[in-house]
Amino acid sequence: MATNYDNLLMIYYSGTGNSKRVSEWIGEKASDAGLRVHVSSYQQFDPESISDFRGRTLIGFFSATHGFNMPHSMLAFLMRFMLLKGSDVFIGNTRAGMKLWKLFLPGLSGIAMYFPALIMMLKGYHIKAMYPVDLPSNWISIHPGLKPKVVDSMVERCKRLTFWFSGEVLKGKPVFLKSFILLPLDLLVAPIAIGYYFVGRFIIAKTFVANYNCNNCGLCVKQCPTQSIIMHRRRPYWKFSCESCMHCMNYCPKRAIETAHSFVFLLLAVIIIFLNPILASFSRDLSNQWLSGSGTASSLIYYIMQYSGMLIAFWAGYRLLHYLMRFPLINKILTYTTFSTWKFWRRYHIPDRDNKVIKPD
């Protein structure tokens, strides 16, 4: 296959392996075409690894989609990235595809490609393509993992489409159509992406717990892509920096990691019923006393206080929950009042190249 480049650099962010797999497929296609290829996660990327690149280089950034955006840690990496300036770049994301009978359903990207593309354009790179891949959704905090047969069919389909995309972009052709088909819906969820980035991701980070099956093996701590899990009082503890990539929950060999649904529902009820009315009254009083009773100012103060209050409430509530989980009775009550503990709530594992489930290291 004739190509327009001499080198390919693929950098990815991946929790459960979707974006990593797509990056490997693209790298495989480029290698078969005779290009020098380097594929790496953003955490392990070493600039020295591309010191032998000569000629034209194509750079690809592929990432999972979190809250209709690229994860914060990957965005921070793009902000710092300054190598091979002026090169052609393509942006891709895996966006939680689903399947209904024989119908493959696309996910939504939100701003997960557009914002990173803007960052790279402002840095002087040339955006050559944007491409979403609808590999299976892994967000088992809100739904069970898909059946293995469904996962297999989705992976095979995405592999064929990714090979087609690879051939086109390696020839230097612009590929944008698929990224723009759902643009109206992506724009519709853009405000959610902003809310998730500034508030939602911190709240969701405080919903993970280890149940009574945890044997303190430390695998979740070792494999966390963002080093956001620590052992505190002999139990895993999730920090605010957690990206909710779902690696720990999907690959825990003991199925010991859960989303504490009952805790979330209870804490949200307390916030809505008790905390929010207090904050609303306080913001009105503050506006009347200092801002001439401005309704706009009162609303702004209320929303700032509401979101700040939610973060503080989830931080304090999570600290208390982590302490209480040491008591077997409370641990079992919380475990059996979360959806993810039941057998029908499957974990998600992307098949390996031989169509076998990837096991954790």
CATH number of the domain residue 16 falls in: 3.40.50.360
What pLDDT, on a 0 to 100 scale, did the predictor assign at position 293? 64
pLDDT over 60 at 353, yes or no: no
In a domain, 161, yes or no: yes
- Give tens-digit pLDDT for 81-93: 999 999 999 999 9
pLDDT over 80 at 292, yes or no: no
Domain total of the chain: 2
- Give tens-digit pLDDT for 117-168: 999 999 999 999 999 999 999 999 999 999 999 999 999 999 999 999 999 9
* pTM as predicted: 0.90
In a domain, 344, yes or no: no
Boundary-marking domain end, from 169, 186, 203:
186
Cα end-to-end distance, the chain, whole Å: 36
In a domain, 22, yes or no: yes
Average pLDDT estimate for 89-107: 94
In a domain, 99, yes or no: yes
- Give tens-digit pLDDT for 310-333: 999 999 999 999 999 999 999 999
In a domain, 199, yes or no: no
Looking at the fold, whether 64 and 157 belong to one and the same domain comes out as yes
Q: Is 311 left (phi over 0), alpha (psi -120 to 50) or beta?
A: alpha
What pLDDT, on a 0 to 100 scale, did the predictor assign at position 359? 42
pLDDT over 60 at 356, yes or no: no
What domain range includes position 102?
7-186
pLDDT over 80 at 297, yes or no: no
- Give tens-digit pLDDT for 4-21: 999 999 999 999 999 999
Looking at the fold, whether 39 and 168 belong to one and the same domain comes out as yes
Across the chain, mean pLDDT equals: 92
CA 244 to each of CA 16, 101, 118, 138, 204: distance values in angstroms, whole numbers, following the listed order: 11, 28, 24, 10, 7
pLDDT over 80 at 287, yes or no: no
Boundary-marking domain end, from 156, 186, 216:
186
Alpha-carbon distance of 100 to 109, in angstroms, equals 19
